Amino acid sequence: MTLTSVTADSPRTDEEVQKSVLKSRRRPRPKKFREADDSSELSGKRGGSRVVVIIGLVLFALYSIGPAWWLIVSSTKTKEDLYTTDAMWFANFSLFDNLSSLFTYQDGIFGLWMWNSTLYAFAGSIGHTLISLAAGYGLAMYSFRGKGTTMGFIIGSFLIPGALLTIPSYLLFVQLGMYDTIWAMIIPAFFSPFAVYLAKIYTEGAVPSELLEAARIDGAGEYRIFFQIAFRLLTTAGATIFLLHFVGSWNAFFGPMVFLRGADKWPVMLGLYSWLQRGTDSTVDLTGMVITGSLVATIPMVILMIAMQRYWRSGVAMGSLK
């Protein structure tokens, strides 16, 4: 039996032609084309994810800005416009009249409430920040007997709700003569387990032990090392602790309601609540004044947030250099 070879010039059968076509179809595409297809699919997926993220951010921004916009609009309205016009848009502009009524009602007690809130927030936040940074620095940089037990108590105290300490604190303040005084709002604000824990965690990453050893070799004392070296490295943590406590102290309501009796010592939030409970007066609309007072009460926190942004920028820049 002999095999005949097919030359290139000999005609091919239909079966051979079909097989060659199928082989050409099954050939893999060049690598560059496959990479182009993969990149186009990946860019398409990224584009879809980006759209979803942008929509979510827009909705979150609207949800966050909506109440603030309503507060601004409502503060510019008269009593009649407040109840009869569109809640989300302006009517007759009466902001200055509302501010005049706000600061003159009851002999200008709203200004006293603003001063009380500023005093409680600033004094308490300064002491709160200094004590928290010092305690966190000590727990992070020193070794002593009972350090683990101390950290266990600090972390365990997170589980205790603040309302549970109201009655013991009330009894203690009465015995110490601090009830219905400004010290009942300032001194307890100095201590916070969470702030101590936050300062400890930040100190461990921001303050190198080699730097402290070099300062000790140069003859620097421990207090000088903390205030002149470590404290400057803890600026971002201190700004965070200060701002968190300031906002919490400015918005404090339950503590002042329990520990303060006289209206001349109330913070602004408790004072506005007392007006809101009364609802109306024979001469002015207290609801409108509460809205205007709420707008004025948010201004210090906005100013503080803008003023302290540079501390977070410096902390982020320092972390990126590390």
- Looking at residue 86, its pLDDT comes to 87
> If pLDDT is split at 50, 70 and 90, which confidence band does 316 have?
very low
Q: Give the confidence band of 149 by pLDDT, cuts at 50, 70, 90.
A: very high
**Domain coordinates of the chain in residue numbers?**
36-75, 96-321
The residue that leads in pLDDT, 307 or 269, is: 269
**What is the per-residue pLDDT across 195-242, written as a single tens digit (0 to 9) for each?**
999 999 999 988 999 999 999 999 999 999 999 999 999 988 999 999
Of residues 163 and 217, more confidence is placed in: 217
What is the CATH number assigned to the segment(s) 96-321? 1.10.3720.10
pLDDT of residue 164: 86
Q: Record the pTM.
A: 0.79
Judge whether 142 and 204 are in contact, CB under 8 Å: no
The pLDDT of residue 52 is: 85
Tell me what percent of the residues of the chain surpass a pLDDT of 70. Answer: 80
Query: CA torsion angle for 20, 25, 30, 31 (degrees, to 10)?
Result: -130
pLDDT at 19 over 90: no
- pLDDT beyond 60 at 310: yes
Predicted pLDDT of residue 72: 92
Share above pLDDT 90 across residues of the chain, in percent, rounded to a whole number = 52
**pLDDT surpasses 70 at 280:** no
Task: Write the pLDDT tens digit of every residue in 235-262.
Answer: 889 999 999 999 999 999 999 999 999 8
Per-residue confidence band for 4, with pLDDT thresholds at 50, 70 and 90: very low
Task: Count other Cβ atoms within 10 Å, centred on residue 76.
Answer: 20
Cβ-based neighbours of 307, under 8 Å, separated by 6 or more? none
Model pLDDT for residues 51-89, shown as the tens digit of each residue? 888 899 999 988 889 889 999 999 999 888 888 888 889
Query: At residue 192, does pLDDT exceed 70?
Result: yes
pLDDT of residue 265: 94
C-alpha to C-alpha distance for 200 and 138, rounded to whole angstroms: 8
Q: What does the pLDDT read at residue 311? A: 75
Question: What are 244-249's contacts with CB under 8 Å, separation 24+?
Answer: 244/195, 245/121, 245/124, 245/125, 245/128, 245/129, 245/189, 245/192, 245/195, 246/121, 246/122, 246/125, 246/301, 246/304, 247/301, 249/117, 249/120, 249/121, 249/124, 249/125, 249/185, 249/189
What pLDDT, on the 0 to 100 scale, is given for residue 13?
Answer: 60
- Sign of the CA dihedral 264, 293, 82, 277? negative
Assess whether pLDDT exceeds 90 at residue 138: yes
Average pLDDT (254-282) is 88
Note the pLDDT of residue 305: 86
